[in-house]
Amino acid sequence: MPTAELERVAVAILEAARSAGATTAEADVSQAVGQSVTVRQGEVETIAYNRDKGISLTVYVGQRRGQASTADFGDASLRATVDKAIAIARYTAEDPCAGLADPARLARAWPDLDLFHPWALPVDEAIALGREAERAALAVDARLTNSDGATVARGESEFVYANTNGFLGGYRGSRHHIDCSVIGEDAGGMQRDYWFTASRVPGELLPAAEVGRIAGERTARRLGARKLGTLTCPVLFEAPEAADLIGAFVHAASGGSLYRKASFVLDTLGQAVFAPVVSIREEPHLPRARGSAPFDAEGVATAARDVVRDGILQGYFLGSYSARKLGLETTGNAGGAHNLVVAHGDDDLPALLRRMGRGLLVTEQLGQGVNLVTGDFSRGAAGFWVEDGAIAHPVEEITIAGNLKDMFRDIVAIGRDVDRRGSRHVGSVLVGRMTIAGH
């Protein structure tokens, strides 16, 4: 379905909503296609195709809000969706913060961020890539005896957002990945690890064999893992795990958490939330990046900004509704944060290990033990014990604990080994002191 057809549907449902009594309305019309192939032990385990489409309509009758959705683009379905949304709005309480984004903040023109790169990947080639990744992983070490499989997936999507304040816009995007997970076994037990590559651009993916090799090496090095006793020491979060720390900050600094007073960073604008070595910029217009967007989910124009500068919080992540609840202005983050780029130093991971000297390198975290209200942090973890600046042995079945307010202010260094596969671009993060509990 071409973009023009999505636009036609969006305009049609908004016109129907106005005719049915909506004061204002907004609609999101989207479609997506994808293919995913998983190979395990050299055999094809699954082949999945998806072709999805949908319409989400939000209407406002005065300051009463109603929302309904459908996957059927037929005229009768559009009318029924409008009727449902209007009916819901008429029975909801008035909310003085409800409504469309300020028209003055809507994007009027936007750059092409180069987000759409379809991958013409036949199923047999996807199967071959999956086998190649798995083969390379298992070849790393004779102790790698089993596989959770290798998956090769491609996806394309497109959406149009429109509202009755005159905004009509959308764009296409793509997202592809190859991942591999294998299992190793020795006298000490079984271990599992994985690796993946992801990009909007097929040509920027790591070769399948390299993904497999890294997955195999990461699994093999975990064999012989030991437990630790309870102690306090520095903790170095490997870059992919450090992205989770930034994610916890984003959740706490987002509008919903703030206006519900369920955030440990409530009322901290202009204050030191992180150590002075930490600066975070939101960069929504990076070409080809995972979190790039010319406008947010309400059509508000996005723009680069400092979120944290030298440890001091400069801004929250707000859409129009949460901004009104807080008496602030939207930051163009309806729908979430965009690319967050964390400034880093000159040290690579080995240099950070040397700097840490003695402590824990975390390469996997388990569980959800983060309390965004208090900042309390306690998660299962695995990784490596470090002595004299070098990895001594793998460790497992431990818990790392602290409080994010203290952890953020105790960040000693951020590495230049930046993981850019997602929307949080951060290197490995060294925290000066945490509690480690053995099991």
**Do 238 and 206 share a domain, yes or no?**
no
Distance CA 201, CA 205 (A): 7
In a domain, 113, yes or no: no
The answer to whether the beta carbons of residues 242 and 427 sit under 8 Å apart is yes
Q: Are residues 215 and 71 located together in one domain of the fold?
A: no
Indicate if 243 and 190 belong to the same structural domain.
no
The region, left, alpha or beta by phi > 0 then psi within -120 to 50, assigned to residue 211 is alpha
> Are 289 and 262 members of one domain?
yes
| DSSP single-letter state for residue 100 | P
Q: How many domains does the chain have?
A: 3
The DSSP code for 425 is E
Is 26 part of any domain?
yes
Query: What tokens does 106 get?
Result: 């809507």
Helix axes 208-220 and 123-138, enclosed angle (nearest 10)? 30
Q: For the whole model, what pTM was predicted?
A: 0.95
**pLDDT tens digit at each of 439 positions of the chain:** 568 899 999 999 999 999 999 999 999 999 999 999 999 999 999 999 999 999 999 999 999 999 999 999 999 999 999 999 999 999 999 999 999 999 999 999 999 999 999 999 999 999 999 999 999 999 999 999 999 999 999 999 999 999 999 999 999 999 999 999 999 999 888 999 999 999 999 999 999 999 999 999 999 999 999 999 999 999 999 999 999 999 999 999 999 999 999 999 999 999 999 999 999 999 999 999 999 999 999 999 999 999 999 999 999 999 999 999 999 999 999 999 999 999 999 999 999 999 999 999 999 999 888 999 999 999 999 999 999 999 999 999 999 999 999 999 999 999 999 999 999 999 999 999 999 998 6
Residues 314 and 344 in one domain: yes
Q: What CA–CA distance (Å, rounded) separates 83 from 143?
A: 62
Residues 137, 213 contacting (CB under 8 angstroms): yes
179 and 314 inside one domain: no
Instruction: Check whether residue 282 and residue 422 sit in a common domain.
Output: yes
Domain membership of residue 333 (yes or no) is yes
Q: What angle do CA 160, 165, 167 make, to 5 degrees?
A: 30
> What CA–CA distances, in Å, run from 251 to 63, 317, 324?
27, 9, 18
Which residue range forms the structural domain that includes residue 140?
123-159+171-220
